[in-house]
Structure 1
Amino acid sequence: MAGHLGLDRFALAGESGGAPFTLDAARQFADRVDVVALISAGGPMSRDERVGMTAKARLMNWFARNAPALNTFRIAAMRRELVNPENRERALRDAMAAAPDATHAAATRIEFEAVADALRQGTRATVQELALIKREWPFPLSEVTMPVHLWHGARDRNAPVAFARRLARDLPNATLHVSDFAGHDVGVDRAAEIISVLVAHVR
């Protein structure tokens, strides 16, 4: 895609479960990637790193690591809610009503539509992807040598900030930006800052 667009050099960004795929792509295209952004990064967390995680997220993480097929039931329930237009609109209205402002409400709508589209053809790929994300990643972080900026909310209960702190320690050239008042939606709160940092790095 980058070649088709004529991009000799570019930045990469990954949010939540996109973290390992983004880092591995950066590792494999190190001669072309100037900077990486990880937003609310999730992955294989230790017991201590899971402190503060919601019970639902803890259960999905345990299934992903130990019995991935069991996540099929939870993902199927999500699919029933989101793929059916009436159910999705009802759930979306509730979620948007809880959003703190118009920007978060708009981001919530985009997220609902994206997840519904991802689940439209079934649950198998999502279950497999969760297993890939939550088990140990099959590449060394030491090989991701370009600058990596991590943005994480201190109130994130899906992917607690302790995991991002470990990533920042283990990556050779990482900078961690913690937002004290954000949760898993830190990408919405810090969007302008994220774009500014990425633009400043791309040559």
Structure 2
Amino acid sequence: MDAVLGSMTERGFRIITYSRAGYGASSPAAGRTVADTAADCAFLLTHLGVTRYLVAGWSAGGPHALASAAVAPESVEGVLLIASFAPFDAEGLDYIKGMGAQNVAQFGMAGHGEPAMRELVGRMASAVRGHASADVATEMASLLPPVDLDVLTAEFGADNAANMDHGLSRGDEGWIADLAALTSPWGFGLDAVTAPIELWHGTVDRMVPVAHGQWLAEHLPTAVPHLEPGQGHLSLAIGSLGEKLEVLRGRVADRATSRLALKSRPST
């Protein structure tokens, strides 16, 4: 996992990850919403004795990171949002415009019923489960601009293939549940997110087009957007997550200092 986590652990961050319900060894939870998963995350961190933390969400993890800040505002000090999806019903956003064929097919399935969704996800999961990184890159070709193809065929490719195998080792329930959750009401309002947000999105992203990041930046008052020219869905994050977390940590520290100064200011 060094390709993903290395730049963070090198900077002293303690990283805690978890499998959303239905992935890996995590039991499925029928009908889970994005907010339900955030509640699971808050419960886990409370169990571990972690009371204050930053949350980071990449791709489908983005909405879940925002939900964590909404569900546990007393604990979440800041949000790192990387190439995140916007709400499926986002007003004024053409949700699938600019996506590669696989994501057009996935998100175009919304409203066609669970059997149709299961059939499509089953075919897509079979095409990547147990396959080498080169095969995965071929299957995902429509989603990969050249900068992302370079990443997936390098060190990250093996990590990604191993993660997909683990996540899908007991079936497709996690993928199906994620697709249903992303295309349904998330279970919280964006106005409930008050923590500082650092929002990053690549302009050539074909998995989650940059219009999603632009929409979120316009609807999240605490977000500082970073729209990166020439970066894709993978190239935006691999090798630089630590730097992005540092930016967020610095902003959180500045906010805390400002609050302390305000409290310390003598009354007139």
For the criterion TM > 0.5, the same-fold answer is yes
Tell me what 1:143 maps to: 192
User: Which ranges in structure 1 are unaligned for 5 or more consecutive residues?
Assistant: none
Tell me what 1:191 maps to: 241
Which structure 2 residues correspond to residues 18-167 of structure 1 after superposition, within 5 A? Answer: 18-43=61-86, 44=88, 48-84=94-130, 87-88=131-132, 91=135, 99-100=149-150, 105-167=154-216
Which structure has more helix as a fraction of its residues? 1
How many Å apart are 1:200 and its aligned residue? 1.8
How many Å apart are 1:28 and its aligned residue? 1.4
Q: State the Cα deviation string for residues 98-147 of structure 1 (Å, max 9, x = none).
A: 8436x972222222211111111111231121111123322110110111
How many Å apart are 1:160 and its aligned residue? 0.7
Equivalents in 1 of 2:239, 2:230: separation in Å? Answer: 9
Tell me what 2:58 maps to: 15
Which structure 2 residues correspond to residues 165-180 of structure 1 after superposition, within 5 A? Answer: 165-180=214-229
Equivalents in 2 of 1:56, 1:93: separation in Å? Answer: 12
SS in 1 for 2:237: helix
Identity of aligned residues (%): 27
Q: State the one-letter code of the partner of 1:22.
A: A
Partners of 1:54 and 1:158 within 8 A in 2 = yes
Aligned: 1:200 with 2:250: yes
Number of residue pairs matched by the alignment: 199
TM-score by length of 2: 0.65
The RMSD of aligned alpha carbons is: 2.7
Equivalents in 1 of 2:121, 2:79: separation in Å? Answer: 29
SS in 2 for 1:152: strand
Q: State the one-letter code of the partner of 1:71.
A: M
Q: State the Cα deviation string for residues 158-189 of structure 1 (Å, max 9, x = none).
A: 11111111111111211111111111111116
User: Which ranges in structure 2 are unaligned for 5 or more consecutive residues?
Assistant: 1-43, 141-147, 254-268
Q: 1:191 to 1:29 in 2, by over 3 A?
A: same
Q: State the Cα deviation string for residues 45-100 of structure 1 (Å, max 9, x = none).
A: 6663432111221111111354343232333234334433xx336515868xx843
TM-score by length of 1: 0.84
Equivalents in 2 of 1:106, 1:57: separation in Å? Answer: 24
